[in-house]
Each structure stands twice: as structure tokens, then as C-alpha cells.
Amino acid sequence: MAGMQFTTTRDDIFNEYAAEKRQFGCSTRPYISVQTVVFDVLNALPVGGVVMAHAVAKAKQELVWFGFGDGDTLQIGSEAFPLAKKANDADTNLSSGHKTNGVEDFVIEAISSSVQGMRIKYDADDVPASLDGTVEGAYTGKIKLVDPAALIAPPQFGSPLNLEDVFYEAVAAKISAKLVWDKKGFIPVGTMDQFPEGGARSIIRAHGDPRVDNRYKIPEGYAWRRVDKTDGEFSVQGKLEDAVVIPISLVAFEGADTPLVVPQQIYVDIRMRLHGLGFGKPGRNNF
């Protein structure tokens, strides 16, 4: 129609702030949040002398990014094997779940995702004795494990010989994602395989081309408003729509003469970033 003009969310919020004729500032700092996909390890074969098993990501797992703040309890296990930790700055940069920091209005203009880390859990009876507490955590699913030589984890877990991050790439196309505001308004934005790496990473471990500008672009922008506005409560909700099975090889902890050990679970910690532009008014203590 004549006289109609397309404007972006960035334009609309900028004009709103400018109309108040008060000083304001802008920030391009992204928001980050982490959630976990769980693989149960089932059906070790052959039954008499196991050499392989099946890592199964069961369908209908639900993930909620940006629903917790720094210091909140973050669930990193499963219902069968509950694990929890206090969220820190590597898990989120939100002060409070669902809300922007301070009284910021944030325009979401791109989304990216990557693997924050992989964890593996063995039965307590299979864990070697007399380990340092931190090292023991790498066997019990509490600590990120990087095992390029497959010394204590299946080679599919992290060996560079795979030439890809096997577990995330297996589930990314099966995790649906929607942006949710105020627990009622939502926009389905597809599946996690369209949210690329968005940062520096080894090419063989990257979820797509590892560049900071490699993101799912949203040119029109979505508004995540400050707490006193409609659309001030936000999260990204994901669901693993279908199950995924990955056959895995088993390893021995202390050499070829020891029995092969079957893990109980494998965890994939997925970091999501929201990129865009934040608007806010300076305070007395952060002018």
C-alpha cells in the first residue's frame, strides 16, 4: 500500500528511546545459556563378552535455554541419574532466568549454537579407586571430559578421527526450537541444525563454519523487553522430537587385559547464543 514502510524491531525500539529525549546506550553483548541432551547407554553386545553398546537419546527430552540465572541450580543429569550444579558464567550471563540484565531491551537479530562440552557417567563400581576428586568427576558425569585418544571414553565420544562432533550433529536436526514470551506468545523457528557455530572452534568439532558471523540471521528482529514491559519474560524451548541411536565401541580403563567398561550415560551440553542489540539507560553506578 502507498505510504507503508517496513521497519525493523531495532528501528522501532531506537525510535522509542529517542522519543523520550533522554540519554541511552546500546550494547552488542550476546546472551548465552546452556542445556543438556542425555544419551542412555543400552544393550551392550555381545552379551557374553561385550565390545559395543548403543547410545540412545530418548525422544521428548525438553530443554529450556535462558530459563535460569547465574547461581541458580542447573540440572545436568537425568531423572534416572540426577546431577546438579550451581550455574556460573560459563553456563549463562543472565542475572535472573527469563529476564534481560538490568532494565535492558534486547533485539534478537541472530542465534547460534555449539557444544559447550561432553560428559560421561560410569557406574560407581567401575570407576577406578583412589582418583583425585576432579578426575573422578570426569568418570561420574560431573566434569567435562576431553579424551582425544579414547583412553576412558568410546572413540565416538571425542576422538578427532570421527571428523565431526558426532553426538550433537546426530540430534541437532531432531531438536525443534521455539522462542517463547511471557509463557504464552511463541514463534517456532525450526530445528537446531539451522543455528550454526557462531564462534571460534576447531573445524572438525564445529557445528558449521566456525566464524563469529556464522549465525541464523533474523533481519526483522525479535524484541526481548525489559521487565516492566510485555514480552519481558523469554526463553528458547527445545524438544527432541524423535529418538536417536548411536552404536559405540567400548574401552578398557587400564589396558587391553582388563574388561571393557559400559558407560551408563553420555551428556551433550549445548550452548546457545542470542546476538543482537541491547538498549538501556545509564545508571548512577555504571554511567
Structural domain of 52: 26-280
Cα-based distances in Å from 201 to 27, 212, 266: 24, 10, 22
Quote the number of domains for the chain.
1
Per-residue pLDDT band at 247 (split at 50, 70, 90): very high
Cell reading at 211: 566464524
Q: Answer whether residue 285 is part of any domain.
A: no
Residue 269 inside a domain? The answer is: yes
The residues near 101 (Cβ < 8 Å, ≥ 6 apart) are 93, 94, 95
Please state the pTM of the whole predicted model: 0.93
Q: What is the pLDDT of residues 95-131, one digit of tens each?
A: 999 999 989 999 999 999 999 999 999 999 999 988 9
Strands 244-249 vs 185-191: parallel, antiparallel or unpaired:
unpaired
Name residues whose C-beta falls within 8 Å of residue 224's C-beta, 6 or more positions apart in sequence: 100, 105, 106, 107, 108, 181, 231, 232, 234, 274
76 in any annotated domain: yes
Average pLDDT in the 20-32 region? Answer: 93
Query: Is 233 a domain residue?
Result: yes
Instruction: Kindly state whether residue 250 falls inside one of the protein's structural domains.
Output: yes
Q: Determine the pLDDT at residue 286.
A: 59
pLDDT for position 262: 95
Segment 160-190, tens digit of pLDDT: 888 889 999 999 999 999 999 999 999 999 9
Look at 166 and 200; give whichever has higher pLDDT.
166
Residue 135 lies in a domain: yes
Cα of 35 vs its chain's centroid, Å: 4
Kindly state whether residue 4 falls inside one of the protein's structural domains.
no
> Quick one: average pLDDT of 79-88?
96
Is there a domain that residue 15 lies in? Answer: no
Pairwise CA distance, residues 235 & 49, whole Å = 46
256 pLDDT exceeds 80?
no
Task: Of 171, 172, 170, 152, give the one whose Cα is nearest residue 162.
Answer: 170
- From residue 266, how far is each of 53, 127, 144, 200 by CA, in Å? 12, 15, 11, 24
Max alpha carbon distance in the chain (Å)? 80
